[in-house]
Structure 1
Amino acid sequence: MNDKHIIEMFRNRDEQAITELKLKYGRLCFHIAANILSQHEDIEECLNSVYYDIWNRIPPDEPNDLKTYLCRIVKNKAIDKLKYNSASKRNSKLSVSIDELAECIPDTRQQDIPTQKLSEIISRFLRMQDEKNRKIFVRRYWYGDDISKIAEYFQMNEKTVATNLFRTRKKLKEFLKKEGFEYE
């Protein structure tokens, strides 16, 4: 079933929309949540929360790209669940990738920075990168894959992947400065 039809089902408050969403994107959602959360129960709770949230958001939201919209919600819910579960302890896998990005991307919650504008600038930056660099960056910071998994996927050395990510973050930081996002 295509995304427009699923969105239309949500607008019509047809409960089958959730079933269709799970059939089409359930494995992807599970993959994203599992890269952030380690306990199966937490992953299931996160995904149930996502489906409930989507049900309440469409309408009024009108996503142009259902897959991206859904992935963003899954990622944010999983991060929220991780923060809740580990208020005093840190999950090294995710916190390392978040710490890496914190070196070059300003925290929009602590500064007067429009999130949408920052998101558009980062997307523009990624479109300027070659395909392999862009995919490595997205797998690390969007899907939460660890470096060893990325290295295996691209048949690269882990050190090469880490260097690639470091250089891409450095370029991103410079790009953000040129766009008016001074950040230290």
Structure 2
Amino acid sequence: MLRPAVEADLDAITVLYAREVREGLATYEYDEPDAAEMRRRWRAIVDAGYPYLVAEHDGAFAGYAYATAYRTRIGYRWTVENSVYVAPDFHGRGIGRALMLRLIEDCTALGFRQMVAVIGDGSNQASVALHERLGFKPGGVFPGLGRKHGRWLDTVQLVRALGDGDQGEPDEGVPGLR
């Protein structure tokens, strides 16, 4: 089941993200944000009009995904960056795919024209493959752009058109204008 994230989901979101900060390479953040900080981030995303989703499987929290501004300068306002995290017990079950499909659909309906995936560890082939299966194309590889757990990491960017992509005139009312 996919649905918009609500405040009651933030404890599970905080635990999953903290694990990734502590052990993983999907984010270059070093310090685990506490529940108050995760609540502030969620609120900022939702208040700006971007989708923030949760996946449940048999009533259990399985993961989350959201979109935010790719960049803050006004010329980028039709482009979003996606983030998707799946709980370890649910890897390989299609949760990430389901979250991403819904996120793509929601962002398209809001009038966004491009979605960028910024994959924090270029060797994360599962994330790269997921995005490629969903129509994302290579945007670039930035060698050694970040450092975590004692090593330099490549960052991969993939991009996918939403709706008409870069064809035609965009909707001026997208949330990125707020």
Bigger strand share: 2
Above 0.5 in TM-score?
Answer: no
Bigger helix share: 1
TM-score (norm 1): 0.30
TM-score (norm 2): 0.31
